[in-house]
Structure 1
């Protein structure tokens, strides 16, 4: 029988089956307990009869006993809030199947069988946005990590790889476009205004890569010819009104395909590549084979509605998901503990791609800023974990900055030690050796080892040890030599009190003070607890530049003369090291003040050194404006707090604002002249125009800190004259933090101008919740009652409440009101969308790193969340670990 053409029966409007109550002791999944699947599913055929509130699914599985499995005759098919309407084995209806919690169990007698299971779904009721759900009149799926089990019963694990055939039928008026993985093989018309499409994906894949989209969509179409001459049809699907904003995404996709061929030798392997933009999405995007589903935020861009940062994000995420076609799809994860196998490697690939498309120096600084702002706090908190975790209760909680961003840094270190060309030999070997497999992090490291000749035995510790290494540096001058003393310590983290030394590749240079040039530049690998390196031939003490290019994701602790840092900020030829020198000047000054380690005279000297370096940056004609803008950005309050064992967030905020205001006064004339110069640069996507736009806002930030009333008209003038979102949003961001009449007028104009554009209205919410305004919490509470706010859309929730949670002035407000607001959000959001709710818990989990009074208030809020009787696994795991 042609199973693809078999009709399916009508189905009533059914709800998802009620979820079982959460267990008293959530199951802990451990990496060491991994067992190969007992049964494999070489082929699966899915038949969908689609409806927004009623979708009927028939899944036909060809199952075979796995010789590497445990030999059990029982086939376990995972489910989650679904019910089986019928079960057939080898064409015969059976009644002896049983349920084990949410899973369906069938006892089988032979080595190969045909299993058929029918389920009924209500996509419109699926507020979790996992599995099959409705979004603005369309149907779409999200199956990573464990969403496929919300569609049909299946061995929902990444090491079960299947080829998929998918038939979809539905109302042609509602769903004129029917998409799935692979290639479309046949379409046809059905009765009563319906139509159908048949899709086939020839490449075996795990079920987390399954995708389906049905809706009223239009496509931006293009073609790409691969390096071997194959033509690939490209489509970016959106609502009709959004099509004109997909040009940058299409260009980014084509650039990604070309770059991956050149940089990694990877060619696309289907005749078709589809991208769909979805308004309601928990993540940024998903790499489903041949059908990438994207949050609209990472697809839609034009100068009027998207900032330069938005353009960069679209390019980076488009590249990231496309690169997954090989590093994630063709080679996938054996189990979810290996998540960094695909995510860490692919983040590195998208970083290298974005660097090649723009400024390598600026991109590296931006990547490090993200790492320090998100991953370093993770590494020093109660949720610290290695890039390859040992256990979890809810896998969604391990889609973290550690797995992604630190994972990328770990692989980058291998590339640094091997060299780019040699590293390519290792990745070529990895792709050749494991194509079509579900692999492990160890498989990747071994391939790099074999391909490059590196000995990575000790390096493997980076995969198993959590925490950010602390590297202590001391440079002595003795007997005509520079003697460098290095020491490392990996701090204790939950469950890992004792750590071993890890190989840390440190790029360094020694500069001659007289000539302002370096005479030594090399890579030193610190692989012991303590290590000494001697450099002869130095009659005078040199200036040390270390961890150049951020060659290792570590904290450097060094007693540096401020004069040396001023020297490096002015003369270092490594862009990141120059940036780092400026950051170190500011960190040392502000942390010294907040920590009570600097007397008045020392504070004056530190501020003067920062002012000197800042002035040099403004006056350096050799600097391009993109880099100048980066050098002007002060360390974040989050990063400053990381330098203290226990921090007073509002004291850090006050001191950082005071320094900003002082720099604005000290260099006011230069900043005004800078703003006047760059506002004359016309809009363009070239580096010079982008740099000019960055400097416009940076200059406004300092000028407004020094003189709010005097700068407000300048900011409003920038807002009114803006012919692009970068300038308009930058000016509005500055005005949002000021208590001036121009603020309300600009906010009203912005909302009226962009009413109905969800992504831009998200900015309107976020700018107010993240502002420096004295009444920011009152603004947040008012915005929560605004007609445009909804708890059902993850983008809107994050725009308001995540912006507030990462705003220290708001979140850490006296009396704990900020903590109570976030606690209430978690409790309200958890029944609707637990995955999004769980993302807010880590902000409260930092209670050990703030002063005792605030910490007690944060703990009180965590306990109130924990007391909720029906918490999801996502939130309960985060809260339990945060309190533990």
Structure 2
């Protein structure tokens, strides 16, 4: 694989040629689709050849100004020399959609034609400067049989349609807005169609269309409602109005990503469109609303203003994740949505920051761009935007957004352009803050405090420690540090955002009568690790009294984590395990607090997972951690058994998502503590009229290892075997079972009629879920869990390397484990790196892990 060279941000050069207009004919046939691309090309620099990207194409002809033109194909690029300053370029290619298992470019999904061009998929359709800083206006003519393909869709507005010979027809689409090739989209197939409309704030009528597989129309209504809600929110919060005459969403089952924001024609994974109460959980409904919003919000933050190069990916993704998080918070529970965002950072992004794929939110180099669609670029990128919002305030941030669009509408720009607009609109110097874009890793804040009772002076010392991933020349970051001080009567004494800018920071607060309890880094005001020696009493006080609901949840996580790690230490030192009764009492108070948001209470009762706990330490005794966590769960459940059962029964018949969240959290805690009566689980499963409760009952049966678990799983399978998205949930349950038979069970399920190794959703639900969500069996001491994943990675390498690279993550994050497990993981990676045709996607991750 020595020929695979990294690309570097520092080597960026503007394009030597740009394209102002692209007129395409796409003549659809399953294995021999003909593409004729006619471009208007403009030279930007003299004495350079035109290089056009292409992959998996059969080139038929090249013409310049309607005349055949000589060319070379060098290293996968079409090379043309001696070109005039302005010319018409026509390229004809032939492609094989049905044979395209990578799901990039143009491919077939369950009999429908579909595209996915981000990041570099357009080069699989035609030779083109496949980079985001080449923006052109597209006119696309699609031809296909009427039978089987009545809908022919592309970006923009439909301008022409008609019949052709041999039962074929055509449609022409024009997109009036210049766009990069990664936003090109095409779909052709036969669907059920849900139609609606939206009237913008300026009075324009926009047609809304959601296309789904036949028979699923009743499951499209929530997606449509989410779209209309998103459009209204973007107008009211950001003043941004939709700009085309039509907005379309198409749901396809074979899709590598969650969804894609192609201008006016969003292509979605069915997971984020199809939902009804019987087949989708409350979390599914929330996920659909969030993802529909995310892709719609890209219309401005990603489409109207796009990235200059792929190193700037967080320019559109971090900003749009922030916007979809704010949307979910404005229309739902702000605290619960913030907690979910924090979990992603602490449990997944921190792991990425400390592993071999660590990179800043603006990466400096890349081999395979698909590998940088990461929680760092997306979710840490959103945290960086959130910090800017904290520093500037809502008014300052909105002023910056307005200036950003005024300056850069219709352009491909950089992260620096965005920060510059924020600085200029607000007058706030963000020069030090820009380090967040360039320095990798997670900073640590080590906090200590003191109180002088005589003077009433409280002193807070914050030491900023940068991680090795930040580099030898790393500088202190600008960190907004949200602080609340709470008095001994439980009342708030102070709420303030401090600026932590130095390696050593001191803050003094005067006039206090007693030593306060500090609520530090409230609402997770920066994506950093916090070290402070909280006492048990302080954490209990924060759980009860912090004005921030998020801070109350974080205190509960710290409290139960301390209990678990204390028992890990007891096991390692040969002592006895125990649970402080104050811990149980603190959680009992949560259960008894009827004024508390049930969803927040549920979050508090969802004890940190093994993977989440591993991210709290530098190295782990894995077996001791598994035992200590199980002990604490059993003890806590035993202490709270009566309250859990009472709360469960109180909520049993309440038909609302918040009530279900808390009810099922109580059931799960009882089950994990071995205290869940079998009849309780069977009753809920039998009486459930929604997927949330059905899955919760199944999960409880498995967690409690109840005798009924196999029969319930079989009944679930029989009912839903022909509904792919629900079977994904069943595969996930099977992959999460912690008995030793799970490895053989997974191998058997690969042959299940509902499973396909070619379908990313099925792969993620079974093999990906096992690796990511079943640490007990994945990290088996004998290494068999690692070897199971490796076998399937080798198969996926030739089928869909992008999916393979995404599910390999748990195998490359071996740094915190004991030497035996490390060696087993490395042996699997050595086996992969030795493959003769290892994909770029896997090569980059495996090679970086082995060189760590």
Residue of structure 2 equivalent to 1:58: 36
Instruction: Provide Cα deviations, 1:462-504, integer angstroms capped at 9, x if missing partner.
Output: 00011111111112111311111111112112x8245211011
Written as runs of structure 1 = structure 2, the 5 A alignment for 1:347-426 is 347-426=321-400
Aligned-residue offset at 1:229 = 0.6
Contact 2:671 2:703 in 1 (8 A): no
Quick check: 1:650–1:812 contact (8 Å CA) kept in 2? no
What does residue range 528-677 of structure 1 map to in structure 2 within 5 Å? 528-595=502-569, 604=578, 607-677=580-650
Q: Does 1:28 align with 2:6?
A: yes
Q: CA deviation at 1:776?
A: 2.9
Question: Is the contact between residue 476 and residue 482 of structure 1 (CA under 8 Å) also seen in structure 2?
Answer: yes
Q: Secondary structure at the match of 2:612?
A: helix
Number of the residue aligned with 1:11: none
Q: 767, 792, 801: which is aligned to 1:825?
A: 792
Deviations 1:384-422 (A, max 9, x none): 000000000010000000000000000100000111121
Kindly tell me: are residues 446 and 597 of structure 1, through their superposed partners in 2, closer, same or farther at Cα, counting changes over 3 Å? Answer: farther
Counterparts in 2 of 1:135-146, with a 5 A limit? 135-146=109-120
- CA distance in structure 2 between the partners assigned to 1:204 and 1:585 by the alignment: 53
Contact 1:736 1:768 in 2 (8 A): no
Asked if residue 510 in structure 1 is aligned to residue 485 in structure 2, the reply is yes
Q: Report the Cα distance in structure 2 between the residues aligned to 1:609 and 1:126, rounded to whole angstroms.
A: 59
Q: For residues 409 and 706 of structure 1, what CA distance do their matches in structure 2 show?
A: 36
Q: Does 1:346 align with 2:323?
A: no
**Offset, 1:715:** 1.3
Pairwise CA distance, 1:602: 10
**TM-score, structure 2 normalization:** 0.98
CA deviation vs aligned residue, 1:744-799 (integer Å, no higher than 9, x gap): 11111111111210000010000111234453333323322323221010000000
Deviation larger for 574-583 or 50-59: 50-59
Residue 259 of structure 1 corresponds to which residue in structure 2?
233
Q: Deviations over 1:529-580 (max 9, x none)?
A: 0111011111211110111111111111001111010111112120010001
Instruction: Quote the Cα distance in structure 2 between the aligned partners of 1:792 and 1:170.
Output: 25
1:598 CA displacement: 9.4
User: What SS does the aligned partner of 1:118 have?
Assistant: strand
Cα deviation 1:195-243 (Å, max 9, x = unaligned): 1000000000000000000000121101001111110000000112111
Q: Deviations over 1:706-746 (max 9, x none)?
A: 225x5222112111111100001111112133433211111
CA contact (8 A) 1:393 1:873 kept: yes
Aligned-residue offset at 1:826: 0.9
Q: Secondary structure at the match of 2:98?
A: helix
Deviations along 1:169-208, one digit per CA (max 9) or x if unpaired, are 1110021100000000010000011110000000000000
Q: In 1, distance between residues paired with 2:580 and 2:160?
A: 70
Tell me by how many angstroms 1:373 deviates: 1.7
Counterpart in the other structure of 1:698? 665
Select which of 695, 699, 702 maps to 1:736. 702
| 1:774–1:618 distance in 2 versus 1, CA, 3 Å | farther
SS in 2 for 1:283: coil
CA deviation string 1:258-314 (max 9, x = no partner): 101111111100000000000100000000000000000000011000001000110
Residues 273-284 of structure 1 aligned to structure 2 (within 5 Å):
273-284=247-258
Alignment match, 1:14: none
TM-score (norm 1): 0.94
Task: State the alpha-carbon separation in 2 of the partners of residues 868 and 375 from structure 1.
Answer: 29
1:298, 1:318 within 8 Å by CA — same for their partners in 2?
Answer: yes
SS at match of 1:235: strand
The structural deviation recorded for 1:600 is 9.2
Give, in whole Å, the separation in 2 of the partners of 1:215 and 1:512.
64
Which residue of structure 1 lines up, in the alignment, with residue 459 of structure 2? 483
SS of 2:42's partner is strand
Match of 1:88 among 63, 87, 102: 63
**Do the aligned partners of 1:566 and 1:612 also contact (CA within 8 Å) in 2?**
no
Quick one: which of 25, 35, 44 aligns to 2:22? 44
- 1:858 equivalent in alignment to 2:825: yes
Deviation of the 1:596 alpha carbon: 5.3
Measure the CA separation in 2 of the matches of 1:591 and 1:331: 47
Aligned to 2:429: 455
Match of 2:405 in 1: 431
What is the CA–CA distance in structure 1 between the aligned matches of 2:573 and 2:91, rounded to whole Å? 74
Unaligned segments of structure 1, at least 5 residues: 1-22, 684-688
User: Take 1:653 and 1:256, find their aligned partners in 2: how far apart are those partners?
Assistant: 42
Give the secondary-structure state (helix, strand or coil) at the position aligned to 1:797: helix
* 1:792 and 2:758 are equivalent in the alignment: yes
**8 Å Cα contact 1:739-1:773 kept in structure 2:** no
Q: Measured at CA, do residues 694 and 772 of structure 1 come closer, stay the same or move farther in structure 2, by a change above 3 Å?
A: farther
Cα contact 1:52–1:137 (8 A) shared by 2: no
Alignment counterpart, residue 726 of structure 1, candidates 692, 698, 703: 692
Could you tell me how far apart the structure 1 residues matched to 2:751 and 2:192 are? 34
In the alignment, the residues of structure 1 paired with residue 739 and residue 426 of structure 2 have an alpha-carbon distance, to the nearest angstrom, of 54
- Rate the CA distance shift 1:176–1:530 in 2: closer, same or farther, 3 A: same
Q: In structure 2, what is the Cα distance between the partners aligned to 1:464 and 1:337?
A: 11
SS of residue in 1 equivalent to 2:468: coil
**Residue pairs, 1:102-181, within 5 angstroms:** 102-181=76-155
Seen in structure 2, the aligned counterparts of structure 1 residues 511 and 603 have a Cα distance that, compared at 3 Å, is farther
Deviation at 1:621, TM superposition (A): 2.0
Q: What whole-Å deviation, never above 9, does each CA across 1:808-849 have from its counterpart, x for those lacking one?
A: 112101201110011111111010001001112221111221
State the shift of 1:510 in Å. 0.6
For each residue in 1:650-698, what CA deviation from the matched residue of structure 2 results, as whole angstroms up to 9, or x when unmatched? 32222212111111111101101111011121x3xxxxx2111112221
Q: Which moved more, 1:534-543 or 1:176-185?
A: 534-543
Q: Which residue pairs with 1:300 in the alignment?
A: 274
Cα distance in structure 2, aligned partners of 1:83 and 1:54: 10
SS in 2 for 1:51: coil
Can you list the C-alpha shifts for 1:95-147, whole angstroms capped at 9, x where unaligned?
x2111121111113310011101111110000000000001000000000000
Distance in 1 separating the partners of 2:544 and 2:28: 63
Cα separation, 2, equivalents of 1:864 and 1:601: 41
Using the alignment, how far apart are the partners of 1:597 and 1:421 within structure 2? Answer: 53
| Number of corresponding residues | 848
**Secondary structure of 1:222's aligned partner:** strand
CA distance in 2 between counterparts of 1:600 and 1:223 reads: 67
Secondary structure at the aligned position of 1:191 is classed as coil
Q: Is the 8 A contact 2:62 2:90 kept in 1?
A: yes
| 1:586–1:634 CA contact under 8 A, matched in 2 | yes
Q: Which runs of 5+ in 2 are unaligned?
A: none
Is the 1:41–1:162 Cα contact (8 Å) retained in structure 2? Answer: yes
Select between 796-805 and 730-739 the one with higher mean Cα deviation.
Answer: 730-739
State the superposition RMSD in angstroms: 1.5
Give yes or no for the alignment of 1:883 onto 2:850. Answer: yes
